[in-house]
Amino acid sequence: MRPSSYEAWRDAFRWAIPERFNIARACCDRWADGSGRVALIHLRADGGVERISFDELRRRTARLANTLAAGGIGRGDRVAVLLPQVPEAAVAHLASYRMGAIAVPLFQLFGEEALEYRLRDCGAAAIVTDATGLAKLEPIRGRLPDLRVVLSADGAAPGALDLHAEMARASDAHECRDTAAEDPALIIYTSGTTGAAKGALHAHRVLLGHLPGVEMPQDLFPRPGDLFWTPADWAWIGGLLDVLLPSLFHGVPVLAHRMVKFDPEFALTLMARHGVRNAFLPPTALKMLRQVPDAARFGARPRSVGSGGESLGGELLDWGRAALGVTINEFYGQTECNLTLSSCGALFAPRPGWIGKPVPGHVVEVIGGEICVKAPDPVMFLRYWNRPEATAEKFRDGWLRTGDMGESDGDWFRFTGRDDDVITSAGYRIGPAEIEECLMRHPAVAMAAVVGVPDALRTERVTAVVVPAAGIPPTPALAAELQLHVKSRLAAHLYPREVRFADALPQTATGKIMRRQLRQELAAEEARP
């Protein structure tokens, strides 16, 4: 029964988390009833369309689970998924969950250093990838002693088995493991301001914790005829747990398509042609769509659109109504504790500049200027992988500290900024430490600091301020070389869009770089006419 008002939903909501729960059983097996109900609609690169039923999805996940088991992979082992938005990625996730292993999604645009760190840190025993991933894996394979099984969706290669051939030989009989709701299921790496990226370990119940936070910004999802799509990669929590898994849980088909680069006109065409009813569109994607002249002419008419990661202004909300025919709903969360605040046009009018209200089931308050979420909560992570100190720092007096500063006005909340140096760029939350460390490994760099500078399209532009090594001239050619250095080793979304040179960096008496002061100086410089 649909709620008549936000207040009625909030007051009546009670979590119903069972003691035993498995994501694969909930998202796949229970819908595989022989009816042929569609789970995935795969728009291939060649324009062809493949429809995969829940029945077929269960068969594939069972075959992959048996394949992994034959390779010695078992309960608790980490299975890396290095694939774009393709059916094999969904199969790899569900196969991992059903056998009690722990899935580790990895962004395919990561460079060798970023991949090596994450694979080593989690001790990945298996990886499911393709030819692109194999090329990045090959030079680091010798430094990954835990990696035993490599499966390639593009066929066999030196050190890699043919994923599809191995699955074809495997049985499709596989009983989903009986897991506790609190058993580990997933590690998603998130950037911070100090040190390397941290792996947020989530339990199977994280999916149940996400459901009201998906239903609210998608205007009381699901409804008959719904079809969900996002350009966000399934390697990130936004693509995986805001779209793919909740849709499958509800028996709603997901449109899958690998977008190498976001093309706003293609996105509008895709939504119109395939009848997309629900979409998660990051703010940068919305800003690019808004630049398309007469976007309404494409005929995209989704029932609901959610967006999160950056604040949307009134003008963008007005554009959404005119071009897409919907009120775009904002939501808020982070990898460790996602989808806790949201707006919902089906229940109340948006308030430009404000995120929305607490999603039913979550207790959110602003404490000392910081947005905090009451623990325990089904959507919260279990812990950081191998980081007990960092885990302890995340909680205080029974509250999870988001590190985001905000304001509250009754039920309404808004984001005002970070209390640290995390950069919000094109919907990504980017920690500067990993980029700075990469820059420092270049022989031409003596010191480096990375900050976010205000940017109209991306919200913030990743900017590196570099002190060149002695005798090295600060030239445009060096700036381009440093950009490529980071882009090829870490990821395309992490490289500094701008490299500036300086004789020195502002530091404290103990030698710590003062990023806040540097950020303020650069922002003031940008603001000058």
pLDDT value for 193: 45
What structural domains does the chain harbor?
22-179 (3.40.50.12780), 423-527 (3.30.300.30)
Side-chain half-sphere CA neighbours of 483 within 13 A? 16
418 contact partners, CB below 8 Å, separation of at least 6: 403, 404, 405, 424
Percent of the chain predicted with pLDDT > 90: 76
Instruction: Please measure the distance between the N-terminal and C-terminal CA atoms of the chain and give it in whole angstroms.
Output: 56
Residue-wise pLDDT for 284-327, tens only, equals 788 889 889 999 999 999 999 999 876 777 888 999 999 999 99
Q: Is 428 helix (H, G, I), strand (E, B) or coil?
A: strand
Instruction: For residue 200, name the pLDDT band (cuts at 50, 70, 90).
Output: very high
The larger pLDDT score, comparing residue 353 to residue 337, is at: 337
Smallest Cα–Cα separation from 517: which of 506, 528, 526?
506
Residue-wise pLDDT for 75-93, tens only, equals 999 999 999 999 999 999 9
Tell me if 339 sits within 8 A of 214, measured CB to CB.
yes
**Per-residue pLDDT for 508 more than 70?**
no
pTM of the model: 0.84
Going from the C-alpha of 459 to that of each of 420, 427, 454, 462, the distances in angstroms are 16, 8, 6, 10
Query: Is 358 exposed, middle or buried, given 0-12, 13-18 or 19+ CB atoms closer than 10 A?
Result: buried
Instruction: For residue 527, name the pLDDT band (cuts at 50, 70, 90).
Output: confident
The 3-class secondary structure across 320-354, one letter per residue, is HHHHCCCCCEEEEEECCEEEEEECCCCCCCCCCCC
Task: Classify 130 in phi/psi space as left (phi over 0), alpha (psi -120 to 50) or beta.
Answer: beta
Residue-wise pLDDT for 176-188, tens only, equals 999 999 999 999 9
